[in-house]
């Protein structure tokens, strides 16, 4: 492991100024970055700890709820307003990692965590375009049971590991960032990238920008929302497939609006607008769920070991929507 300097940022502008040095990385809870440093995947020369910045508040605002970037995952998951109004996010956070990790991990860091593709994590494998651009992708012919079925490229078929980001995608969250040029707001669906020819880039955040908050717009039907995570074991495992769903039903029980996002299937949280449209105007039931599920996986391109994910996604979507519709 490379020796590195460690400093604690005392204000946001100082942290942003420090990040002009490309050898600097921000340190939140460190639950992924420190692992990657120990493995020799990441090797920053200087860590700037941002956890003491005043960015941990969870605040109700006229437009919805603001989650500070350094708010801990467990604090957000257990916050009464998140549990009441954005149930899907609370459930997604609780489905992620272990209680100890959730107590450390921050919301900003959650968005920045990197794929758990085994070839990316192990530098003894020479081929990994995400770790060493241009080196190839060992997963194409190797072990890819956990890998992407949607939006992948020949350069990389990794999946994004975050559960919370899938719920945030369904909730139309907006990521607020600050950099040398000032503040900007990035819709969550534009925050993470597809791999294309540049799989080394996970997000559209620039190296000298700091996440300061995540805004959740007021979503009256966020109470009727649900996160379903399907995994190999029932705790402390990444999703094979996950579904974040929210439904708005009118007085007659007809679906007025729907939100649907998938995890475990792509390089980014996979919001499926076409599937949402299929649900609008329908009555809850198997027919509506099946149509939405078909639309959601229409572009799937599975590989040798992960073809099971297509049917798993269909069934998971149907189950998540049925559960969501039954909520009061
Ligand atoms: Fe690397 Fe992506 Fe291929 Fe995994 S899938 S080996 S992260 S390039």
pTM confidence score: 0.98
Q: Which of 116, 117, 140, 200 has most ligand 1 atoms within 8 Å of CB, for mutation?
A: 117
Q: How many helices (H) and strands (E) does the chain have?
A: 13, 12
The overall average pLDDT reported for the chain is 97
- Report the percentage of the chain scoring pLDDT > 70: 100
Nearest residue (CA) to ligand 1, atom 7: 120
Cα 1 to middle of ligand 1, angstroms: 22
- Of 3.30.390.50, 3.50.50.60, 3.30.300.30, 3.40.50.1100, the CATH number of 225-325 is 3.30.390.50
Rounded to 10 degrees, what is the CA torsion of 321, 323, 325, 326? Answer: 170
pLDDT in tens, 23-35: 999 999 999 999 9
Instruction: Supply the residue whose CA is at minimum distance from atom 3 of ligand 1.
Output: 137
Question: What is the SS3 assignment for 310?
Answer: helix
SS3 category, 317 = helix
Name the CA dihedral angle for 214, 217, 220, 221, rounded to a multiple of 10 degrees.
-60
* pLDDT per position as a tens digit, 272-285: 999 999 999 999 99
Q: Is the pLDDT of residue 80 over 90?
A: yes
Task: Pick the atom of ligand 1 nearest to 115's CA.
Answer: 7
For residue 192, how many other CB atoms are within 10 A of its CB?
Answer: 24
43 Cα to the center of ligand 1, angstroms: 19
What are 135-166's pLDDT values in tens digits? 999 999 999 999 999 999 999 999 999 999 99
Q: In angstroms, rounded to a whole number, what is the distance separating the alpha carbons of residues 276 and 111? A: 24
| pLDDT grade for 328, boundaries at 50, 70 and 90 | confident
pLDDT at 1: 86
pLDDT tens-place string over residues 236-267: 999 999 999 999 999 999 999 999 999 999 99
């Amino acid at each position: 492991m490379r020796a590195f300097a460690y400093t604690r940022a005392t204000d946001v502008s100082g942290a942003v100024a420090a990040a002009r040095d490309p050898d600097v990385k921000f340190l939140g809870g460190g639950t992924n970055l420190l692992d990657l440093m120990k493995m020799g995947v990441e090797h920053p020369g200087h860590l700037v700890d941002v956890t003491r910045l005043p960015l941990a508040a969870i605040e109700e605002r006229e437009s919805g709820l603001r989650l500070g970037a350094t708010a801990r995952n467990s604090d957000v998951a257990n916050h009464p307003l998140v549990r009441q109004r954005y149930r899907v996010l609370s459930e997604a956070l609780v489905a992620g990692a272990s209680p100890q990790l959730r107590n450390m991990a921050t919301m900003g860091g959650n968005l920045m965590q990197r794929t758990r593709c085994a070839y990316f994590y192990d530098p003894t494998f020479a081929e990994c375009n995400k770790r060493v651009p241009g080196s190839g992708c060992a997963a194409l012919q190797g072990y890819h049971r956990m890998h992407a079925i949607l939006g992948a490229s020949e350069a990389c078929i990794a999946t994004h590991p975050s559960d919370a980001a899938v719920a945030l995608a369904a909730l139309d969250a907006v990521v607020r960032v600050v950099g040398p040029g000032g503040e900007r707001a990035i819709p969550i669906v534009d925050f993470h990238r597809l791999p294309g020819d540049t799989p080394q880039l996970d997000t559209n955040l620039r190296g000298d920008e700091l996440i300061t908050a995540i805004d959740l717009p007021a979503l009256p039907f966020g109470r009727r929302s649900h996160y379903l995570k399907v995994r190999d074991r029932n705790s402390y495992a990444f999703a094979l497939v996950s579904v974040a769903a929210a439904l708005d039903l009118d007085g007659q029980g007809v679906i007025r609006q729907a939100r649907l996002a998938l995890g475990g299937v792509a390089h980014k949280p996979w919001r499926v607008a076409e599937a949402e449209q299929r649900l609008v105007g329908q009555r809850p039931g198997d027919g509506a769920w099946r149509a939405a599920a078909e639309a959601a996986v229409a572009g799937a391109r599975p590989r040798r070991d992960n073809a099971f994910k297509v049917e798993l996604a269909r069934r998971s979507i149907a189950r998540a929507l049925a559960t969501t519709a039954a909520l009061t």
